[in-house]
Amino acid sequence: MGTPDFAVPSLEILIEQGFDVAAVVTAPDKPAGRGLKLQHSAVKEAALKYNIPVLQPEKLKNEAFIEELKSYQANLFIVVAFRMLPEVIWQMPSIGTFNLHGSLLPKYQGAAPINWAIINGETETGCTTFFLKHQIDTGDIILQDKTPITPDDTFETVYNKLKVSGAELVLKTVRMIEAENYTSTPQHGVAIHAPKIYKETGLIDWNHSCIAINNLVRGLNPFPSAWFMHNEKMYKVFKAKPETGTPNEPTGTIVSDNKTYIKVVCSDGWLSLLEIQAEGKKRMLIQDFLKGNKL
């Protein structure tokens, strides 16, 4: 059960390693693009490539869908980047239902674990497989795999790392379950919530430290991106560099030679803007932006 491309490597690794994937459950097709043509989810595209039956319920509690799901007689359900399941579904298989989550639980329970790990300045994250229970992302842990977050990592780069390492973890988990050689352990430690990301999440507050603002930029690159307003126009920031120091100007002051650099004063230094996008314009390196624009 999954929808975006994050779930595709997990599906493909199970198929390629010879496991019997009875069916795939994914989101309904949605209109996209200028012509509003119905577009398949990434998981559906992968399932069709391997001739695996695809179920696309509008509502997960629909009785016809539940009966169809039962007809496959699957003994294990695997969830990767999908909707919250009703109990009638996650309790259906004899072995149970496990989920792959993009964090080291109980840290970053919720919808946006990768974003918040970077925004909060973590130097490490990873993936967790755990059995589902009533409260979201709180089930007993089967396996975890750690991944470092480097100073240059963004949401996009960490996402791409975790979808690969996560697939390996799913395969390892399924093999242990198949061999009946696994344990599941209750989550220990302080839970950290990772709520859904909204456009407003990316609004830069220049009163924060330059490192904290840079973490926000990294954690929201490429979408929905960190941003600020200047002369009633929105500017998205995709890449920046923190520079600590003692500015003489108030926070939020823009410092630029209008040729090679733009810096903005933060609480403890400056944020040097390296790649931005002005409202209605394309994404540009700062030197290219300054050839035809000034702040």
| 295 pLDDT above the threshold of 90 | no
Q: At what angle do helices 42-49 and 8-16 cross, to 10 degrees?
A: 20
Instruction: Name the nearest CA neighbour of 27 among 49, 7, 50, 51.
Output: 7
Q: How confident is the model at residue 33 (pLDDT cuts 50, 70, 90)?
A: confident
Q: Can you tell me the distance from the alpha carbon of 169 to that of 51, in angstroms, rounded to the nearest whole number?
A: 24
Coil, strand or helix at 196: coil
Q: Can you tell me the distance from the alpha carbon of 116 to that of 159, in angstroms, rounded to the nearest whole number?
A: 12
Task: Kindly report the pTM of this predicted structure.
Answer: 0.96
CATH superfamily, with its number, for domain 199-292: Formyl transferase, C-terminal domain (3.10.25.10)
Coil, strand or helix at 146: strand
| CATH 3.10.25.10 residue spans of the chain | 199-292
**Strands 54-55 and 24-25, bridge-based pairing:** parallel
Q: Which helix (H) or strand (E) holds 48?
A: helix 42-49
- Per this entry, what is the length of the chain? 295
Q: How confident is the model at residue 144 (pLDDT cuts 50, 70, 90)?
A: very high
Above pLDDT 90, what percent of the chain? 96
- For residue 242, count other CB atoms closer than 10 A to its CB: 19
Contact 240, 217 (CB under 8 A): yes
Q: Which helix (H) or strand (E) holds 117?
A: helix 113-119
pLDDT tens column, 188-233? 999 999 999 999 999 999 999 999 999 999 999 999 999 999 999 9
Tokens describing residue 92: 């259906």
| CATH 3.40.50.170 residue spans of the chain | 5-178
Contacts of residue 20, defined as CB under 8 A and 6 or more positions apart, other chains included, come to none
Q: How confident is the model at residue 64 (pLDDT cuts 50, 70, 90)?
A: very high
The CATH number for 5-178, chosen from 1.10.1040.10, 3.40.50.170, 3.30.70.260, 3.40.50.800, is 3.40.50.170
Tokens describing residue 249: 């100007």
When computed from its CA atoms, the radius of gyration of the chain, rounded to whole angstroms, is 22
Q: Annotate 163-187 with DSSP letters as a single string.
A: HHHHHHHHHHHHHHHHTT----B--
Q: What is the DSSP letter of 13?
A: H
